[in-house]
Amino acid sequence: MRGSSVERSGAGRDLSGYVAVVTGGNGGIGLGLAHGLVAAGAGVAIWGRNEEKNAKALAELRASGGDAEAYVCDVEDQAAVNDTFAASFDRFGRVDAMFANAGINRLAPFVEMELEQFRAVLRNHLESTFLCFQVAARHFLERGEGGCLVGVSSIAASLGQARGAPYSAAKAGIESLVRSVAVELGPSGIRCNTIVPGFILTPIWGEEAEETHAELIEATSRRTPARRWGTPEDFGAVAAFLADPRLTFHTGDTIVVDGGFIIT
């Protein structure tokens, strides 16, 4: 279940001279986004909390010829977000796009869930997206040349997720946040869009996911028109598309990358 080389390469778009930040860019969908951006010629700053994963992802991006840097950052911490954005700007000399992708999931029965469990997931997804969007938007407004903001949601925002109420709520919140920011900042040339993944085979499912989740993968793949789960490589072309500064009329959108699952 591998994405095509065209998808991973950024589909031929030229982002030379532009710079993107990808939070949670050290693995999974975030690394797929980063690969698509560097393949299109963009400089990329990946932010993640795990230094070892950061180093591995950075080596992979540089081995592909990309101009990349990695930073340890807790996106729930406003000071850390602001400082890491400043460090990214100092390294590359500019920032043109912010992909707020970092996130966790904590499953628990709704009636047994503690309030802090609920808040922790919202903090990690929704509040961190707010913080990352805000620091980038302030920079874009100060520069006066527009910019690109991208949030990462999930089909769980629309379909719901048993034992995952805070995750679904947070993802729905991200979509609403994106629309509000798109309306408010559109007159300043700042575009804000959402990527909505479906079932994607990433490390969050475990190293042996194709064996341990075989029944789930088979059942959902049968329902999916593309007849497979997605992979991080499926997001490369999407990232390059959304970061393209020529797309000045594209904002407030949700781009669903789920192989057609949600329409069946």
190, part of any domain: yes
264, part of any domain: no
| 154 has catalytic annotation | yes
Which listed residue (171, 180, 188, 221) is catalytic? 171
CA–CA distance, 156 with 160 (Å, rounded to integer): 5
Domain CATH number, residue 191: 3.40.50.720
Which listed residue (154, 176, 188, 221) is catalytic? 154
pLDDT one-digit tens code per residue, 78-118: 999 999 999 999 999 999 999 999 988 888 999 999 999 99
Q: What is the pLDDT of residue 212?
A: 83
37, part of any domain: yes
| 171 has catalytic annotation | yes
**170 touches 228 (CB < 8 A):** no
Report how many domains make up the chain.
1
DSSP 262: G
DSSP helix/strand/coil, 198: coil
Question: Residue-wise pLDDT tens for the chain (264 aa)?
Answer: 333 444 444 557 999 999 999 999 999 999 999 999 999 999 999 999 999 999 999 999 999 999 999 999 999 999 999 999 999 999 999 999 999 999 888 889 999 999 999 999 999 999 999 999 999 999 999 999 999 999 999 999 999 889 999 999 999 999 999 999 999 999 999 999 999 999 999 877 777 778 888 999 999 999 999 999 999 999 999 999 999 999 999 999 999 999 999 999
262, part of any domain: no
Beta strands in the chain (DSSP E): 19-23, 43-48, 68-72, 97-100, 147-152, 190-197, 254-257
Which listed residue (153, 167, 168, 176) is catalytic? 167
129, part of any domain: yes
- Domain residues for the domain of 174 are 5-257
169, part of any domain: yes
| 167 has catalytic annotation | yes
188, part of any domain: yes
Beta-sheet strand order (sheet of 43-48):
68-72, 43-48, 19-23, 97-100, 147-152, 190-197, 254-257
Q: What is the pLDDT of residue 112?
A: 96
